[in-house]
Structure 1
């Protein structure tokens, strides 16, 4: 299997917050959706593989071996189900987009707060 994010797989991923991890997973989810909707199977498959790689790295992160593990594994199941089926409810996509959007917003807020702390 191809490793799309070798620097992340070698440990950098495990230094990120959950919000940052899921924000990045959400970016790959959006890319996969875009390529699927445009009918570009090659780019869709690559984006989908990158998404699963990042999500799998999140799942094996030892910090989330608690109540979050069940949510993360269920998230993987829902994403695989949605992206592998031709017909899906539009609401499912919007729900997942919103789910990831909130993590992206939180990750940006955390990053901005950390940058502000360095300036002060």
Structure 2
């Protein structure tokens, strides 16, 4: 049986900076990759669904606080990353998720640097 947590809180999520949202998505992407490589489909599927929830929430809240000129670009990037993640997850290659894991690791590093300043 797969455990799925409650849906994230939209108001709280909307208050987070984009970089923090992406780092949180990256945590679930990394878990998905880890469990898929280990062959634990239930855990991989749970992390995959949680990542999709966070992707969808990020897309839904939009980038209202960002300058209008950046909103479209950020939304395109988010949708492109979500599509790539889904494609990699559905791949027969257990290492396919490495690309998304590397991509999101940059957000985690940037988030860590940001909080240390």
Q: The TM-score by the shorter chain falls in which range? A: 0.7 to 0.9
**Aligned residue for 2:67?**
none
What TM-score does the superposition give when structure 2 sets the normalisation length? 0.80
**Aligned residue for 2:103?**
99
What TM-score does the superposition give when structure 1 sets the normalisation length? 0.78
Which structure has the larger Rg over C-alpha atoms? 1
Q: Deviations over 1:19-77 (max 9, x none)?
A: 11111111101101111111111111111000111111111122164211111111111
Assess if the C-alpha contact under 8 Å between 2:62 and 2:75 holds in 1: no
- Give the gaps of 5 or more residues in structure 1: 114-120
Alpha carbons of 1:93 and 1:109: their partners in 2 closer, same or farther (altered >3 Å)? same
- Give the gaps of 5 or more residues in structure 2: 65-70
Number of aligned residues = 109
Picking from 78, 82, 100, the partner of 1:72 is: 78
Higher helix share: 1
Q: CA RMSD in A?
A: 2.2
